[in-house]
């Protein structure tokens, strides 16, 4: 991505529309800014198709799409907190939690859905450190939950 391409323009090019987000609980922030970092609360998929355990109810490819959906929601949350996605200097760290069937070991392939979306939207500034873990359960039986830390201006 050249430095002149605003993330909003890149989202539009990708055919992605984002909506303002609000917190799900009064004691939990959508995101917290400390210094030059924005820590976001986790996002789950908006699409109701992405329910169930990956490796059982869902395939790796479906999990990938669920992770991409989560990343879109993380970008929407960042915009809701920051007001302008142009304030994002880089994606620093991603934590991907996959609702994994027993014995499922391909969580990284699922979380690539989020990582590759960040790269598509932010270019080299979207390359990040990452953890991708399988978990026994996630809220409302969603397939994936993603947390992101952004460096901001």
Domain of residue 55 covers 7-19+37-152
Distances (CA, A) of 11 to 14, 67, 112: 5, 16, 18
Q: Which residues contact 83 (CB under 8 A, 6 or more apart)?
A: none
Q: Does 140 map to a domain?
A: yes
Please compute the mean of the pLDDT values over residues 22-47 and round it to a whole number: 96
Please compute the mean of the pLDDT values over residues 72-91 and round it to a whole number: 98
- The predicted-structure confidence for 55-64, as pLDDT tens digits, reads as follows 999 999 999 9
Return the residue matching tokens 């990938």.
Answer: 64
Please compute the mean of the pLDDT values over residues 68-82 and round it to a whole number: 98
- The neighbouring-strand residues paired with 51 are 142
Strand (E) or helix (H) holding 89? strand 88-99
Does residue 122 carry a pLDDT above 70? Answer: yes
**% of residues, the chain, pLDDT over 90:** 96
Does residue 1 carry a pLDDT above 90? Answer: no
Global pTM? Answer: 0.95
Q: Does 141 map to a domain?
A: yes
Q: Does 79 map to a domain?
A: yes
- The predicted-structure confidence for 3-20, as pLDDT tens digits, reads as follows 568 999 999 999 999 999
> Which CATH number belongs to the domain containing residue 64 in this structure?
3.30.1330.40
The predicted structure's pLDDT at residue 2 = 45
Looking at the structure of the chain, the number of domains it has is: 1
The predicted structure's pLDDT at residue 11 = 97
Q: How far apart are CA 40 and CA 43, in angstroms?
A: 8
Q: Does 26 map to a domain?
A: no
Q: How many CA atoms lie within 13 A of 121 on its CB side?
A: 27
The predicted structure's pLDDT at residue 4 = 66
């Amino acid at each position: 991505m050249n430095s002149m391409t605003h993330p909003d323009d890149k989202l539009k090019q990708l055919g992605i529309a984002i909506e303002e987000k609000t917190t799900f609980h009064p004691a939990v922030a959508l995101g917290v800014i400390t210094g030059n970092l924005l820590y976001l609360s986790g996002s789950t998929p908006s699409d109701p198709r992405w329910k169930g355990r990956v490796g059982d109810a869902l395939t790796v490819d479906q999990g990938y799409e669920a992770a991409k959906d989560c990343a879109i929601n993380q970008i929407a949350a960042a915009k809701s907190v920051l007001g302008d996605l142009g304030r994002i200097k880089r994606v620093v760290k991603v934590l991907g939690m996959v609702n994994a069937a027993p014995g499922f070991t391909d969580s990284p392939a699922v979380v690539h859905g989020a990582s590759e979306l960040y790269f598509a939207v932010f270019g080299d500034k979207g390359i990040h450190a990452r953890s991708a873990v399988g978990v026994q359960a996630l809220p409302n039986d969603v397939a994936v939950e993603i947390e992101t830390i952004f460096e901001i201006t």
